[in-house]
A and B are shown apart, each in its own frame.
Chain A
Amino acid sequence: MTVASIAGTTVHVDAEGFLTEYDEWSEYLAVQLAAGIGIELTDAHWKPLRFLREDFRAEGQTATLRRVSTLGGIPIKELFALFPGKPAKKMAYIAGLPKPHGCV
């Protein structure tokens, strides 16, 4: 774990730059994180991001795309359009949550 400075805020991140402390995240920070990977956040982006934040607080793990789709009411196709290529990883990165992982 290392310490990084993003837009003047000091946060803890892992080797890939994912925030490791849930409470160090802010919406302001999310805008900067998104801009860093070429995404300008709109209302459509915020809906799944806010769902992910709330869901993680309750469940202790990052929701799968299927869960965002079923419970958050956002079709998986739309998630791919909003966060091209790797929506699960990109959403977790912007939302300050661990990326989806297996056991190895």
Chain B
Amino acid sequence: MQRLVILGGGTAGTMVANKLRRRLGNADWQITVVDHDDDHLYQPGLLWVPFGDIEAEQIVKPRQRFLPGGVDLVLGEIERVDADANAVVLAGGRHLPYDYLVIATGVSPRPDQTPGMLGAEWRRSIFDFYTLDGATALREALASFDGGRLVVHITDMPIKCPVAPLEFTFLADAYFRGRGMRDRVEIVYVTPLPGAFTKPIAAAHLGSMLDDRKVVVEPDFMVERIDTDTKTLVSYDEREVPFDLLVTVPLNMGADFVARSGLGDELNLVPVDKHTLLSTRHANVFALGDASNIPTSKAGSVAHFSVEVFADNFCQHIAGKAMTASFDGHANCFVESGDGKGLLIDFNYDTEPLTGTYPLPIVGPFALLQESARNHWGKLAFRWMYWHLLLPGRRIPLPAHMSMAGKHLPVKEPQS
């Protein structure tokens, strides 16, 4: 009997369990999923919580419900992985030996990593929205906000769903307009990147979206600390951004057990081959979803497409064959832009988001890099698809590899 242990029962881990349970015979393979609780959170839904457009029970369901028969769910804290001994050690001392290990424990916001963030103003005037507690608390804060300076802030890259802070900004603009008080709210977008849009074609097509909404962008801002007395973000080069209400995306880090096990980089992300997701150090350890260091967005979409590629590869790998499938870094994300509209972006390691259309039978095509109501409805419909098709590992008519069909090729600049 061979043993596959999957750490994390989130998007990636649940899909892996479903896809591999079908392919690996029950008599030959034991599959175990480990997580610290039984609450599966549909993370894209968090975006709507602060605006009162979704309820917690719509985005949290028991993990167990999405795991197939023949997969054991173990609830417990992971103390460490002993990769040399091929065993996971849980808090309390329980050992889970494995033949193959999948690390899919994602990343978490870490407000403790920025001095002052977890101080007296945390959840009073400083909020995050990447946790259910944070998004729920922010809902109260937005409802009682009577004007002033709202600062939307990214601590550092990489973060989960890198477009979410932009989406939050667009939705906040629409929300305050809806309440007839937009003129009393100053919105500032603070980013460590050189701008809100950094890819040339996206920047050319979307660059005015923040200007149009009278959002001020503060680029190249690396926060060093938050001064809670004066309610000010202070950067390493001593720039200051004061706020009345701060919505921050704290530093994202992989799980602490990854660091304790000596398996991570400086952000506790597991170094892997970006095409096979196999650990660069251990031939029986893979990292999927946000937990790895692959150079593409940390997003459920990436988890989905990479798991499809991984499932084929895994069966070859355990048979001692070379892995022939190669993940291309494909991601495909709806971007909410307010007022019932949205954008769609589709890209991979080598191709930046382009304009054009994304073909899809019956419900498509979806406009790329362009606002449309259909994109908004696509995003809303995805929640149903997530619970009913994606997590159970059913086939979805979205190819794992990026396709150029419908995309406009950028015009080559003349060679000088």
Q: List residues of chain A with CB under 8 Å of any chain B CB.
A: 1-4, 14-15, 59-61, 64-67, 70-71, 76-77, 79-80, 84-86, 88-89, 99-104
What residue of chain B has the Cβ atom nearest to residue A84's Cβ?
A: B237
Contact of B222 among A2, A76, A99 (CB under 8 A): A76
Q: A101-B193, A103-B347 are in contact. Are A1 and B413 (CB under 8 A)?
A: yes
Q: In the complex, which residue of chain A has the Cβ closest to the Cβ of B343?
A: A104
Q: Assess the B220–A102 pair: CB atoms within 8 A.
A: no
Whole-angstrom distance from the CB of A42 to the nearest CB of chain B? 19
A3-B415, A15-B200, A60-B274 are known contacts. Are A102 and B236 too (CB-CB below 8 A)? no
- Select A104's contact among B197, B266, B415, B416, beta carbons within 8 Å: B197
Say whether B293 faces chain A, with CB atoms less than 8 Å apart.
yes
- Collect the chain A residues with CB atoms within 8 Å of residue B191's CB: 102
Given A1-B413, A76-B224, A61 contacting B295 (CB threshold 8 A): yes
Partner of A102, one of B157, B224, B251, B267: B157
**What is the CB-to-nearest-CB distance from A18 to chain B, in angstroms, rounded to a whole number?**
11
Known: A2-B415, A4-B416, A65-B222. A104 touches B198 (CB 8 A): yes
Residues of A within 8 A of B345 (CB): 103-104
- CB of A72 to closest CB in B, whole Å: 10
The A-contacting residues of B in range 243-267, CB under 8 angstroms, are 251, 265-267
> How many angstroms between the C-alpha atoms of A101 and B295 in the bound complex?
11
* A100 to B159 alpha-carbon distance, docked (Å): 13
- With A77-B236, A102-B157 already in contact, the answer to whether A89 and B347 are too (CB < 8 A) is no
Q: Are A85 and B197 in contact (CB under 8 A)?
A: no
Check A104 against B206 for contact (C-beta < 8 Å). yes
Extra pairs beyond A66-B266, A80-B222, A103-B333 (20, CB < 8 Å): A15-B413, A59-B293, A76-B222, A77-B237, A88-B194, A88-B220, A89-B194, A99-B194, A100-B192, A100-B194, A101-B198, A102-B191, A102-B193, A102-B199, A103-B162, A103-B347, A104-B162, A104-B202, A104-B203, A104-B335
Q: Kindly provide the distance from the CB of B173 to the nearest chain A CB, expressed in whole angstroms.
A: 17
In the complex, 16 of the A-B residue pairs with CB atoms within 8 angstroms, ordered by the A residue number, are A1-B413, A2-B414, A2-B415, A2-B416, A3-B415, A60-B295, A64-B192, A65-B156, A76-B236, A80-B222, A86-B194, A88-B194, A100-B194, A101-B199, A103-B199, A104-B197
Q: Is B297 on the interface with A (CB-CB < 8 A)?
A: yes
B331 an interface residue at 8 Å Cβ cutoff? yes
Which residues of A are found within 8 Å of B222, using beta-carbon distances? 65, 76, 80
Identity of the chain B residue whose Cβ is nearest the Cβ of A63 in the assembled complex: B266
Report yes or no: B197 in contact with A100, Cβ–Cβ below 8 A.
no
For chain B, the count of residues having a C-beta within 8 Å of the partner chain is 41
**Which residues from chain A contact B414 at a C-beta distance below 8 Å?**
2
Q: Which of A2, A71, A80, A100 contacts B193 (CB 8 A)?
A: A100
| Residue B163 CB within 8 A of the other chain | yes
**With an 8 A cutoff between CB atoms, is B353 at the interface?**
yes
Query: Do A103 and B331 touch across chains, with their CB atoms under 8 A apart?
Result: yes
Give residues of chain B (311-369) contacting chain A, Cβ–Cβ below 8 Å. 331, 333, 335, 345, 347, 353
Residues 42-83 (chain B) with a chain A CB within 8 angstroms:
none
Given contacts A64-B156, A70-B266, A80-B237, contact A102 B413 (CB under 8 A): no
B224 proximity list for chain A (CB < 8 A): 76-77
- Nearest-neighbour CB distance to chain B for A78, whole angstroms, equals 9
In the complex, what residue of chain B is closest to A62 when comparing beta carbons? B295
Contact of A64 among B157, B335, B353 (CB under 8 A): B157
Q: A15-B200, A77-B236 are in contact. Are A100 and B157 (CB under 8 A)?
A: yes
Task: Considering the complex, give the chain B residue whose CB is closest to the CB of A68.
Answer: B266
Contacts of A84 in B (CB 8 A): 237
Query: Which B residues are CB-close (under 8 A) to A77?
Result: 224, 236-237
Inter-chain contacts of B333 with A (CB < 8 A):
103
Q: Could you tell me the distance in whole angstroms from the C-beta of B347 to the nearest C-beta in chain A?
A: 7
Most buried by B among A3, A64, A86, A99: A64
Contacts of A99 in B (CB 8 A): 194, 198
Interface residues of B in 196-210 (CB under 8 A from A): 197-200, 202-203, 206
Complex contact A85–B416 (CB within 8 A): no
Q: How far is the CA of A91 from the CA of B204 in the complex (A)?
A: 24
Assembly CA distance A3 to B414 (angstroms): 9
